[in-house]
Structure 1
């Protein structure tokens, strides 16, 4: 009994222990790691991944997957940037509809929500595998981005838009504030609302959830819509930080998001995991990336190390279930 309790506690705190050990090791190897500036730099860099990972967590809790978040991020960011800079032209009427900062932001979020909703609709309506549907959306959204931008970046955005990704508020980078709001809303949803309970119930046993009266299709559509919205928020932050909407933005971001979710303790089998665990997982990835850069490790080896960490997290997840 005591051994079982000890194992459960160790399992619960594995990500935190891993982060602590990693920070000690990197600080011993690099004197630039434990500095205030580097700390803010890490938090600013992981803000985008945390936003995407929050939506990904909700999807994986329902035993799903969303491979399209990187492409949705790129398309939403491009739409927001394009509307702010060029507006909407109607040549036949000689009209140009301009967009305010708020209008451009809301339009980008709407685009992300619509694409996410389509993912959820296709998965539930046609009972198609989430892997296949979101893989198709990954390709389509990337194509939409190329069509919208013509394959060229949209540069020279306004200073007010740039504040989203590079500004500071009360001594804290503004992207960190945005991420904090997203995380708090997700924590409230999963812990304090009926929708949150439904998400865990579907991931635990979808048939039982359905028989208990839960509208599983509606819940799934909601979580995929939220995943699209959080990807769009990440796209706005990335576009703002770069002062440019890049057609190839967000490449492989879905892998970092899935890695953060898995490392943070969320089970790929659904029904088990927390938003705060995902935040911790994203922090582990951020610290790992930052440490490898400070230690001048080759980018190619960085990919190898990151892949190994993901594999280790999956193996540990499977081992803990046995």
Structure 2
């Protein structure tokens, strides 16, 4: 009995995802339609990539509320480059560099300024959302070419290209966090920062790197969103930080740091995506959808806390 309980606790996120899929498929058979499932995966891809970057930050005991604003500004910059030069490569590189720089900004203030990550990234969220409005003059940037919109709309062997990008990001992130010294340092920092620092590890550097990773992940999502829609809106990414944090928490990562996995985060993102899709198929009002999502996240946190006790 104890062994069964431990297995359930270990795979609770996956069990929850499968149970949710079964329930929704019973209520609305349209859920299991191949096109619908591919649509779910495409929609999940954006949140999944952001959540992967967020996982690195939360594993250290931090938080990053600026990812939605990073998505918006990098999307706007990449779109403007496309309009002016039609260079997809330059647009992608510029977006990733900007995302990394904003992440570095957050990491430096958190590590060197010794300010709570919540405050730092909340300020960054406001600052760079404002920068986006100034940069775009409050209007969407459109007129993007097919070479750029290919990223968000094309399919590779029947699989949406955003899903392929998510898989690549996941494999890289999984390898780094599980197979490298840096990954072990991330878990150690989240587990006990003082002990990690006394062991001779440069904790400030680790913090800066994880925020850079989060910024790059948000930039990649910004490219996907902008390419998929075919324009860059200054409002893009609003509220995405909450979905990313929810995916990380639903995937079993502790908000206090030191415990969790990238695989769990992907499952958490899938739970949110499947839940959104199921509620839409059932014609549930968006107002009620927010309530349901909030209750599911709260329930997941309560279950996780009880299991730890």
Normalising to structure 2: TM-score of the pair?
Answer: 0.98
> Are 2:217 and 1:230 equivalent residues in the alignment?
yes
Q: Is the 2:61–2:258 contact (alpha carbons within 8 Å) kept by the matching residues of 1? A: yes
| Aligned match of 1:196 | 183
Partner of 1:177: 164
Alpha-carbon offset, residue 7 of structure 1: 3.0
Q: CA deviation at 1:84?
A: 1.2
1:212 pairs with 2:199: yes
Q: CA offset at residue 219 of structure 1?
A: 0.5
253, 256, 271: which one pairs with 1:269?
256
The corresponding residue for 1:90 is none
**1:218-238 CA-partner distances (Å, limit 9, x unpaired):** 001000000000000000000
Q: Paired residue for 1:297?
A: 284
Corresponding residue number in structure 2 for 1:253? 240
Classify the secondary structure of the residue corresponding to 1:276: helix
Would you say the 8 A contact 2:191–2:258 is kept in 1?
yes
> Could you tell me which of 23, 33, 36 is aligned with 1:35?
33
Match runs of 1:99-178 below 5 Å: 100-178=87-165
Deviations 1:118-143 (A, max 9, x none): 00000011100000000000001101
* Deviating 4+ runs (over 2 angstroms): 5-8
TM-fit CA distance, 1:206: 0.6
- Residues 9-68 of structure 1: per-residue CA shift (max 9 Å, x gap): 211111111111111111111121001101100000000000000000000000000000
Work out which of the residue numbers 52, 55, 63 in structure 1 matches 2:53: 55
Can you list the C-alpha shifts for 1:192-220, whole angstroms capped at 9, x where unaligned?
10000000000011111111111100001
Q: Give me the whole-angstrom Cα distance separating, in 2, the residues matched to 1:317 and 1:29.
A: 28
Give deviations 1:270-300, integer Å, cap 9, x for gaps: 0000000000000010000000000000000
Give the aligned partner of residue 309 of structure 1.
296
Q: Give unpaired runs (5+ residues) of structure 2.
A: none
The Cα shift of 1:99 comes to 5.6
Cα distance in 2, alignment partners of residues 24 and 62 from structure 1: 34
Separation in 1 of the partners of 2:135 and 2:94?
14
Whole-Å separation in 2 of the counterparts to 1:259 and 1:82: 31
Hey, what does 1:84 align to over in structure 2? 82
Q: 1:99 & 1:211 partners in 2: Cα distance?
A: 51
Contact 2:86 2:145 survives alignment (8 Å):
no
| Rounded Cα–Cα distance in structure 2 between residues aligned with 1:308 and 1:67 | 21
Whichever of the two has the greater Rg, that structure is 1
Provide the rounded CA distance (Å) in 2 between the counterparts of 1:302 and 1:156: 33
CA–CA distance in structure 1, aligned partners of residues 23 and 158 of structure 2: 28
Query: C-alpha separation between the residues in 1 aligned to 2:57 and 2:193?
Result: 13
Match of 1:45 in 2: 43
